[in-house]
């Protein structure tokens, strides 16, 4: 018995999660284990009704589950950032989901914008640090009349860099990135462990040639960790360079480990070269706590309730969820089912088909039970 929390969220979220649930239930039946689902009413509707985003009671209850299956968040009635930070990021930070796992794998039947590349060329995993870097929320915007604060900034620039910052400027903004030795060490170790199970090759992403303090520490920890894995080859790539190589030679990569901000950027590029955001899943993982699995696309409010949204990224996220729970055969079968639906043309209109959201889920569920 595996207990799983279910959060549909906003927009198309409830529809794609429903489709994913049908598929995972079929996989559970096929491979003879049980999934017990518990739904949570968390999202825009509740926020607009009660003012609540994510309560302590929510966190306490969700913390009882090894996994959360999450749909999408975001609603045009709510100012951008409120739901995303108050719910999604809050969940990641509250449960210390320090691994963001993004498979970049081209499935049979999909189309990549990269010329002459096939599924044999695009099959790697990005391991993104998920709780540090520039996303820790340390920053501010200072108005010109806040002389005291601006003087502090001016002094910092003057002493540290020999630069002059006009204190009479209308406004100044700053954001501070933070990387700790512990935070870098645990995600880099996870990536080395994963590489050991795959092709024994790990690429680290940073920008240490310019942001030398924060990413210099990242490099130091990476090299120290590499000594413990002599059988895994390793290399460095600056973030601007890796965007070029993802496009030119995606076949070069096996496992890529990256700080938070760069991971956020390059995984969207990865999603596009594997066939689009409609096929891109993500896992927010705490190996020793509550983890969360979701598609990386948004909530697409204009398609809410129309049963036309593409559920494949959500179903793939469900495969990651099953793998995390130890049901590896079931997870692999779900992924094969996704490939079968693409191959047979059982796809939504964004991929050139005519199937509905629920129709895709039902078809994959049926395929899993028959194969």
**Which residues are identified as catalytic?**
135, 207, 240, 264, 268
Q: How far apart are the first and last CA of the chain?
A: 23
* DSSP sequence for 57-95: HHHHHHTT-SEEEEEE---TTS-TTHHIIIIIIHHHHHT
Burial of 170 (0-12, 13-18, 19+ CB in 10 A): exposed
108 and 339 Cβ atoms separated by less than 8 Å:
yes
Which residue in 193, 197, 252, 256 sits closest to 225, CA to CA?
193
Could you tell me the CA-to-CA distances from 341 to 334, 335, 366 in Å, in that order?
Answer: 11, 10, 11
Which residue in 126, 112, 121 sits closest to 275, CA to CA?
112
131-140 as b/e, with b when 16 or more CB fall inside 10 Å?
A: bbbbbbeeee
88 and 78 Cβ atoms separated by less than 8 Å:
no
Q: What is the 3-state secondary structure (H, E, C) of 150-187?
A: HHHHHHHHHHHHCCCCCCCCCEEEEEEEECCHHHHHHH
Q: How far apart are CA 18 and CA 41, in angstroms?
A: 14
Tell me the torsion sign for CA atoms 36, 41, 42, 43.
Answer: positive
Q: How far apart are CA 363 and CA 344, in angstroms?
A: 10
Provide the H-helix boundaries in 227-370. 239-248, 260-274, 312-324, 328-343, 357-370
Q: How far apart are CA 73 and CA 88, in angstroms?
A: 7
């Amino acid at each position: 018995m595996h207990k799983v929390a279910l959060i549909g969220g906003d927009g198309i979220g409830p529809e794609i999660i429903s489709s994913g649930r049908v598929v995972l239930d079929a996989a559970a039946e096929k491979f003879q284990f049980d999934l017990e689902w518990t739904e949570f009413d968390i999202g825009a509707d509740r926020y607009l009704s009660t003012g609540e985003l994510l309560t302590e009671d929510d966190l306490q209850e969700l913390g009882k589950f090894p996994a959360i299956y999450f749909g999408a968040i975001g609603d045009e009635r709510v100012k951008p950032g409120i739901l995303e930070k108050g719910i999604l990021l809050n969940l990641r930070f509250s449960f210390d989901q320090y691994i963001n796992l993004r498979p970049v794998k081209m499935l049979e039947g999909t189309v990549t914008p990269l010329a002459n590349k096939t599924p044999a060329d695009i099959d790697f995993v990005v391991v993104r640090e998920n709780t540090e870097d520039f996303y820790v929320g340390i920053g501010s915007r200072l108005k010109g009349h806040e002389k005291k604060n601006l003087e502090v900034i001016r002094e910092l620039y003057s002493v540290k860099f020999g630069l002059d910052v006009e204190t009479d400027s209308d406004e100044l903004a700053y954001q501070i990135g933070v990387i700790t030795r512990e935070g870098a060490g645990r995600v880099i170790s996870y990536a080395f462990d994963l590489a050991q199970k795959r092709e024994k090759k790990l690429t680290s992403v940073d920008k240490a040639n310019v942001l030398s303090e924060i990413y210099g520490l990242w490099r130091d920890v990476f090299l120290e960790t590499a000594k413990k894995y002599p059988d895994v080859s390793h290399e460095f790539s600056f973030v601007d360079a890796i965007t070029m190589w993802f496009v030119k030679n995606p076949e070069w990569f096996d496992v890529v480990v990256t700080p938070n901000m760069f991971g956020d950027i390059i995984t969207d590029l990865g999603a596009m070269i594997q066939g689009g955001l409609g096929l891109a899943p993500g896992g927010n993982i705490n190996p020793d706590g509550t983890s969360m699995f979701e598609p990386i696309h948004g909530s697409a409010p204009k398609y809410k309730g129309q049963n036309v949204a593409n559920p494949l990224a959500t179903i793939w996220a469900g495969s990651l969820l099953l793998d995390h729970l130890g049901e590896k055969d079931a997870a692999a079968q779900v992924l094969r089912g996704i490939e079968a639906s693409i191959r047979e043309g059982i796809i939504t209109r964004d991929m050139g088909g005519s199937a509905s959201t629920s129709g895709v889920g039902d078809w994959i569920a049926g395929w899993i039970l028959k194969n």
